[in-house]
Amino acid sequence: MNETAVTEPQKDPHKEVIKKKVELNLEVTPNNIGNNPYHKWVHLAKTIDAWRIFPRIFVTVYIVLLYDVVTWFMELKEPNLEQAGLVSVVVGAMAAVFGIYAGTNKQSKAFKGGD
């Protein structure tokens, strides 16, 4: 890379402008940051995030909980108000969980500043 350095002209008109050519070789690559001992762990974390493993596990566990609660409630002979309230809360929370899960995609991550 060639650069030309120009000094500011002095107020004295008898002094001339000094021009110098400087050659500079730099190697700039993303891998030139040194040896990172946690590089493999960072790669694993990005992979887990890209595959969305934890949200999928959470939604799967919640679906199993929802199924168990609804089948338990349907087998009751005479459900009372508290039992109906429990089922209502679990079913309503499932709607919220699914809405949050469906709302997290690559586009929303990019908007929030993610990779």
Domain boundaries, the chain: 2-7+15-112
Contact 26, 1 (CB under 8 A): yes
Distance CA 93, CA 88 (A): 8
Q: Quickly state the pLDDT bin for 17 (edges 50, 70, 90).
A: confident
Render pLDDT for 40-98 as a digit per residue (tens, 0 to 9).
Answer: 888 888 888 888 888 889 889 999 999 999 999 999 999 999 999 999 999 999 888 88
CA angle 89, 92, 95 (to 5 degrees): 150
Q: With beta carbons less than 8 A apart as the criterion, state whether 66 and 93 touch.
A: no
Q: Are 16 and 29 in contact (CB under 8 A)?
A: no
Q: What is the pLDDT of residues 21-31, one digit of tens each?
A: 888 887 766 65
